[in-house]
Amino acid sequence: MTIAGIEVVIRILVLNLDFREVSYHILSMTSNAERQQDRAIALLSLNGMARLSELTDAGITAATVSRMERKGGVVRLARGLYQLPDAPLDANHSLAEAAKLVPKGVICLQSALAYHDLTDRIPPSIWMAIGVKDWRPRISSPPIQIMRFGPKEFESGIEEHVIEGVTVRIYGAAKTVIDMFHHHRRAKLLYPKSHNPSPTAAIEGLREVLRQRKTTPAEIARYAVEAGTRTWELVRPYLEAYTLNG
């Protein structure tokens, strides 16, 4: 074989080696992407919905999530929040979304009142309480109204409920009714154009929570006293009237 022929053979061998190496890397990348997608589906199936930060912590890249969204493999509920397209939807779906978007928040006021079936009014926004020093998130969807509660008030009366696989913190029925009495003025000042908690809704909530036996007069009185003298004096006549009327 001539020298030119040998050079041709060498070039062919090199090209074949390069092709095999490229093919190997392509297959490896495809396999890794598929593993990430499987991991994302498993995580979302288990948790109902997940923030992008939770997905990336599980080793799923933002590019994989974006690709899955384009192909219909996941649904973006809000900025940085995802769910499987065939996930079952609960009547309180928006509360689960809010809990994911504001992890330190607690569902409160009108939203908690509606969750406990103490009102027929469904608020257009989700009411959430956060601590005095907690970071206040800026969320456009779903609409969330943020209230800051003091340390003792914030930690008191929290219940945990699972909605669509998401653990959602919600104030209990008795605490919610008293918060309606205690915060309606401040809520109106903070959100003058919103559907605010009202004294009427608070009174109706008190009547319903006692009628449905979801709490006791003693528990209502305890939360009212904890809220302060002014709130207790506001609640007391209604509590006495409903208790006497049985």
pLDDT tens, 87-113?
A: 888 889 999 999 999 999 999 999 999
Please count the structural domains in the chain. 2
Same-domain status, 200 and 233: yes
Q: Distance (Å, rounded) from C-alpha 69 to C-alpha 64?
A: 9
Where among 46, 63, 83 does a domain terminate?
Answer: 83
Claim: this prediction has a pTM higher than 0.85 = no
Same-domain status, 75 and 98: no
**What is the chain's mean pLDDT, rounded?**
84
Same-domain status, 65 and 117: no
Asked if 102 and 137 touch (Cβ cutoff 8 Å), the reply is yes
Cis peptide leading into residue 142 (ω within 30°): yes
pLDDT at site 34:
83
Same-domain status, 31 and 98: no
Residue 147, CB half-sphere, CA atoms under 13 Å: how many?
A: 28
Q: What is the span of the domain harbouring residue 25?
A: 3-83
Same-domain status, 148 and 126: yes
pLDDT surpassing 80 at residue 85: yes
| Confidence bin at 119 (pLDDT 50/70/90) | very high
Same-domain status, 171 and 225: yes
pLDDT at site 190:
59
Where among 48, 83, 118 does a domain terminate?
Answer: 83
For the residues 12-29, what does the mean pLDDT come to?
44
| pLDDT tens digits along 33-58 | 788 888 889 989 888 899 998 999 98
Where among 49, 83, 117 does a domain terminate?
Answer: 83
Task: Give domain status of residue 177, yes or no.
Answer: yes
pLDDT surpassing 80 at residue 197: no
Same-domain status, 227 and 196: yes
Same-domain status, 55 and 117: no
Task: Give domain status of residue 88, yes or no.
Answer: no
DSSP conformation class of 115:
H
Bridge partners, residue 149, by sequence: 131
pLDDT at site 22:
41
Nearest to 223 by CA among 147, 187, 172: 172
